[in-house]
Amino acid sequence: MQAPPKVRFLDRTTPPHLVTLVLLSGVSALAMNIFLPSLPNMTAWFDTDYRLMQLSVSLYLLVNAVLQIFIGPISDRYGRRPVLLGALVIFLLATLGTLMATTVEMFLLFRMGQAVVVAGIVLSRAVVRDMVDEARSASMIGYVTMGMALVPMVGPMAGGLLDEAFGWQASFLLLLACGVAILGLAFFDLGETARSRPASLRAQFVEYPELLTARRFWGYCAAAGFASGAFFAFLGGAPYVGTQVYGLSPSGLGLYFGAPALGYAIGNFVSGRFSVRMGINRMVLWGCVISLFGLTILTALTLSGLDRAEVFFGFFVFVALGNGMSLPNATAGMLSVRPRLAGTAAGLGGAITIGLGAALSALAGALLIEGRGALPLVLIMWSTAILALISIRYVIARERRLYGFGGQG
């Protein structure tokens, strides 16, 4: 098994330290969710409709998905380091724009610009795959995303408190400060790991059909996309459900948002600890089963009339726990289909996953209207959990046919 290369902290001649990868992923996650408790107050501040303000989630995810199509191949061609540093600079400029926006349209434009920070998530995983083999990469990605999970756990709590104390702009000021700090850390610690470069950028896009015709790649993409689809639907709908259905304050909503993130962190720890031993397919399978278990109970309780904040957010912990187990392993599976195209696979797989998430987030926002409660959101999440389980079962069944009982893990 390939041993991890030697790493020296704050040495640009060696691969980045694990802490740097965690923080690069973390600032991407923070940009996605820190302001969620502020959405109702931002709706009032910009004098607009919640459905329009909610586009700050779904449009962000959509641009996020499109960018990933290009970030992976560009980083395969020109290297992880310059792409990451450039993305962080653009993120800082866009964050300044959100603070200066005077209309909701201007805010949404700069909010879409912030999506470039997704390079932190995509390329931190590609860097891991550059360094180690498939089984070990699943474990390392699990540890990276376990640390990353601490950020979205604290982010909405901090965002809710900042909103009540200073207004919604305080969350974006915090993003600006974090972006500056991460840019400095990446500049001094992020050594290049993409040593093998294709002849041209065009050659990278020519490789897309090789990935797109690989059934194993599509199986992992579908499993990751539908598993995370429940989470993105949650991001799009939970702020409305929390404030309008359950009457939570911004700080109270932020506190409830922390519970699922704790489940995700535990799932990532399990993934980091057991992926090498159990194999990536079994970890994805068990993660999907756990998510579906929690959502099935939540759906039954909601239909029975037990529609309370503690029930809604509490049972979503199962989804987060399952995703923490399944997503790092499904990602490692995507990247292992064609290892020489790790950046391309990370970008394309991420685009498919986030694109589906953007659609589900927008759907959640559209279906949540006064009088329906949380049921539309719960049904969306339950349906995606079923589809995720079907997807990984397809991957396992196919590998058993090709390689015998147990497949490749």
DSSP string, 118-167: GHHHHHHHHHHHHHS-HHHHHHHHHHHHHHHHHHHHHHHHHHHHHHHHH-
Q: Give 372 or 349, the one with higher predicted confidence.
A: 349
pLDDT tens-digit map of 196-236: 665 566 766 676 677 777 888 889 989 988 988 888 888 77
* Banded pLDDT at 409 (limits 50, 70, 90): very low
Residue 133 scores a pLDDT above 80: no
Q: What is the dihedral of CA 333, 338, 339, 344, to 10 degrees?
A: -90
Q: Report pLDDT for 16.
A: 84
Q: Report pLDDT for 205.
A: 66
CA 139 to chain centre: 17
Q: b/e per residue, 261-291, with b = 16+ CB within 10 A?
A: bbbbbbbbbbbbebbbebbbbbbbbbbbbbb
Q: Which of 10, 53, 49, 27 is nearest to 147 (CA)?
A: 27
pLDDT tens-digit map of 102-118: 999 999 999 999 999 98
Residue type present at position 15:
P
Round to whole Å and give the CA distance between 343 and 231: 24
> Is the CB of residue 183 less than 8 Å from the CB of residue 90?
no
pLDDT tens-digit map of 300-311: 999 998 888 889
Half-sphere exposure of 390 (CA within 13 A, CB side): 7
What average pLDDT does this structure show over 129-148? Answer: 66
Round to whole Å and give the CA distance between 144 and 127: 11
Q: Report pLDDT for 71.
A: 82
Q: Which of 386, 409, 387, 388 is nearest to 399 (CA)?
A: 409
Q: Report pLDDT for 152.
A: 63
- Residue 7 φ/ψ region, left for φ over 0, alpha for ψ in the -120 to 50 degree band, beta for the rest: beta
Residue 194 scores a pLDDT above 80: no
For residue 187, count CB atoms less than 10 angstroms from its CB and return exposed for 0-12, middle for 13-18, buried for 19 or more.
middle
Q: Does domain 18-403 have CATH number 2.30.30.90?
A: no
Least confident of 3-7, 163-167, 177-181, 347-351: 3-7
Most confidently predicted of 1-10, 275-284, 285-294, 366-375: 285-294
pLDDT tens-digit map of 13-41: 787 888 888 888 888 888 988 888 888 88
Please tell me what DSSP assigns to residue 116.
G
Round to whole Å and give the CA distance between 233 and 364: 6
* Banded pLDDT at 393 (limits 50, 70, 90): very high
Q: Give 141 or 390, the one with higher predicted confidence.
A: 390
Round to whole Å and give the CA distance between 68 and 173: 25
CA 320 to chain centre: 11
What average pLDDT does this structure show over 47-67? Answer: 85
Residue 343 scores a pLDDT above 70: no
Residue 404 scores a pLDDT above 70: no
Q: Report pLDDT for 407.
A: 46
Q: Report pLDDT for 128.
A: 79
The structural domains of the chain, with segments of one domain joined by +, span: 18-403
Residue 336 scores a pLDDT above 80: no
Q: Sign (positive/negative) of CA torsion 185, 188, 193, 198? A: positive
Least confident of 111-120, 168-177, 192-201: 192-201
Q: What is the mean pLDDT of the chain?
A: 83
> Is the CB of residue 298 less than 8 Å from the CB of residue 316?
yes
Predicted model pTM: 0.72
Residue 131 scores a pLDDT above 90: no
